[in-house]
Structure 1
Amino acid sequence: MNVGLGLPIADPALLLDWAARADAGPFSTLGLLDRLVYDNPEPLVTLAVLAGATSRVRLQTEVLLPPLRETALLAKQAATLDRLSGGRLVLGLGVGGRADDHAAAGTGLRTRGRRMDEQLPVLRRLWSGGPFSDEAGPVGPAPARPGGPELLFGGFKPVALERVARWGDGFLAAAPPAWVGPLFDAVRTSWKEHGREGAPRLVSQITVALGPDEVIEDARASMGAYYATSGASDYMLSGLHTTPAAIRDALARLRDLGADEVMLYCWGRDPGQADRLADLV
């Protein structure tokens, strides 16, 4: 089972340090979340910078929100990053559920799922060299990976899980370990029902903070601020893993459920956590 790092968003200037430590360590992937109306770095721009500072780790969005973006431009940006990083881009995708993001983007909150379902075949067609429409031709450059970057889908509802089998390569379960088993089973079942060969790649995520008290408090403050408007702040904070034993136990549970990769999502800014977490994996 691979282990990646989800990057903290509170201080973008530190992310180059995080990336260098991760690339030199045992980690498989660097992940970055996507919001519009929030004080976080834009993920495709940031991962492009980190691609130039690394040579090995994959670069993953957790999750990018296509409904907030224009389709052809998104296809071009993703293909460019995939090409320049040597095929290391992984696009984790989701519809997004925060009204302010959609208000700022001028997109409909209630139609976000329908919009993404319309975007997905266009993205796949453009990445395969096809035209945008009858009025507009292909959009380059060709991505490094034929057919486009690896696609993971996040979500909890059946329609979201079905997108994995219809359009994707795998599933990103940004959920507590107790929820992961049924979600993995539903994705596997849908995969078979759609006649897909092989198996979906299954990726899970846990939140972690490892270090002195100030590191843990920094993580709790950042998490609390991020989830403050969701009504789930206390619940999310209760799932923060702050000891080596708790992190190892969660990794073991997710491995037993069949996770191919677990992302250790870090909210505290201290890059030294990358080294401390490396000692666990």
Structure 2
Amino acid sequence: MDVGLTLPVMEPHVGAETLRDWTSAIDAGPFSSIAFGERVAFDNPDALTLLGAVAAWTTRVPITTTVIVPQLHDPVALAKALATADRLCGGRLTVGLGVGGREEDYAAVGADWDTRRIADLGERARTLRRVWAGDNVTGATLPVGPPPYRPGGPPLLVGTHGRRTLAAAAGWADGLAGMSLDLDLGATADLFDVARSAWAGTGRPAPRLTTSFWFALAETSADPRGQVHRHLRHYMNWIPAAYVDALAPTAGFAGTVADLRATLRRFADLGADEVQLIPTSDDPRQLEVLAEALA
């Protein structure tokens, strides 16, 4: 099983130097991918702008968006931006797509909250692929380029926790960009089984099965569970604090490297192709400890 690492883009006041240092270390390390997601009404970097920077800062590591919300973008402009990123990184891009769960993000860009549906997500995914194939979807004199690095464009993963959403995406997605809030292995196994069955029903190749979870290490934090809690208080700022406080004691992983290795083995036993670890601090010592553990 592959193990990727998410950039600390949701940490408070994260700067360009921190992002560049993390990106360089991930690219030089044993990690299978570098990932980051999108929010609008938040103090994180713009995901599409960051894609260009990460493409320029790396030479080896695959890049994954976990996730982009197409409803927040013009679909043709999004296709152009993603194709550009795919060319800049030499075809190392995988695009996770999801409908998002924050109404304030939709409001911030004037997007219609009623488009937050899996059917709309699938339609927008198909538009991306049509643009990447060179179809003139706009009716303008010429189609929109550039073409992506790879014929057909980057692989598309669906970001979801839902069984129905996942099954509905089998017709267009290449796999799952999952997220485990509380390391519930049973729920992850069930979702993986839904994906396998749905993809088999379409006659398409078996789906790529990925998931992710927050982590904090005892080797780099005096209070790893408190570190997770602090991160969630900042990141989940659209949820009442009382709910976040109730979630924090069991959210993600907080423990030693040995415990993390054991947790990753359990996800591997479920058939996960990749787990992407989500840091709850921008402390670079985590990179060194993880690199040693995974080497």
- Aligned counterparts, 1:6-25, within 5 A: 6-9=6-9, 10=11, 11-13=14-16, 14-25=18-29
Q: Could you tell me which residue of structure 1 aligns to residue 192 of structure 2?
A: 184
How far the C-alpha of 1:219 sits from its partner, in A, is 4.7
CA contact under 8 A between 2:161 and 2:179: conserved in structure 1?
Answer: no
8 A Cα contact 1:34 1:62, kept in partner: yes
The one-letter code matched in structure 2 to 1:225 is H
Query: Post-superposition shift, 1:237?
Result: 5.2
Residue 240 of structure 1 deviates from its aligned partner by 3.1
Equivalent in the alignment of 2:210:
203
| Aligned match of 1:28 | 32
Which residue in the other structure is 2:5 paired with? 5
- How far has the Cα of 1:43 moved from its partner? 1.4
Unaligned runs of 5+ in 1: none
Give 1:214 deviation, angstroms. Answer: 6.8
Q: Does the 8 A contact of 1:87 with 1:145 survive in 2?
A: yes
**Residue of structure 1 in register with 2:132 after alignment:** 127
1:169·1:200 contact (CA, 8 Å) conserved in 2? yes
CA shift, 1:165, in A, is: 1.6
Q: CA RMSD in A?
A: 1.8
2:144 corresponding residue in structure 1? 139
State the distance in 1 between where 2:21 and 2:206 align.
35
* Contact 2:225/2:249 (<8 A) preserved: no
What is the CA deviation profile of residues 212-271 of structure 1, one whole-angstrom value per residue up to 9, with x for unaligned ones? Answer: 327765553222211133355232552232321331122011100000111011120112
State the distance in 2 between where 1:67 and 1:131 align. 20
Give the SS at the match of 1:213: coil
Residue in structure 2 matched with residue 241 of structure 1 by the alignment = 253
Q: 1:40 maps to which residue? A: 44
Counterpart residue type for residue 199 of structure 1: A
Measured after TM superposition, the shift of residue 19 of structure 1 is 0.9
The DSSP-based 3-state class of the residue aligned with 2:95 is: strand
Q: How far, CA to CA, are the matches of 1:156 and 1:214 in structure 2?
A: 29
Aligned ranges 1:1-281 → 2 under 5 Å: 1-9=1-9, 10=11, 11-13=14-16, 14-113=18-117, 114-135=119-140, 137-175=142-180, 176-178=183-185, 179-196=187-204, 198-210=205-217, 211-213=220-222, 217-231=226-240, 232-233=243-244, 234-236=246-248, 238-242=250-254, 243-281=256-294
**Superposed displacement of residue 42, structure 1:** 1.2
Deviations 1:67-117 (A, max 9, x none): 000011000000000001000111111001111111112122232224323
Q: Does the residue aligned with 2:157 lie in a helix, a strand or coil?
A: strand
TM-score, normalised relative to structure 2: 0.89
Q: Distance in 2 between matches of 1:12 and 1:170?
A: 32
Amino acid at match of 1:201: R
| SS state at 2:113 partner | coil
Task: Give the conservation status (yes or no) of the 8 Å contact 2:166–2:195.
Answer: yes
Where in structure 2 are there 5+ consecutive unaligned residues? none
Distance in 1 between residues matched to 2:194 and 2:167, nearest whole Å: 9
Q: State the secondary structure of the residue aligned to 2:41.
A: coil
Q: Secondary structure at the match of 1:209?
A: strand
Percent sequence identity over aligned pairs: 40
1:145, distance to aligned residue in structure 2 (A): 1.6
C-alpha spacing 1:214/1:96, structure 2 compared with 1 (3 Å):
same
Q: Hey, what's the Cα distance between the residues in 1 that align with 2:239 and 2:64? A: 24
> TM (normalized to structure 1)?
0.93
Give, as a single letter, the amino acid of the residue that structure 1 aligns with 2:8. P
**Cα distance change of structure 1 residues 135 and 54 upon mapping to structure 2, 3 Å threshold:** closer
The residue type equivalent to 2:90 in the other structure is G
Structure 1 window deviating more from structure 2 (94-103 vs 168-177): it is: 168-177
Q: Which moved more, 1:176-185 or 1:112-121?
A: 112-121
CA contact (8 A) 1:219 1:269 kept: no
Post-superposition, which runs of at least 4 consecutive aligned residues in structure 1 deviate over 4 A? 214-219
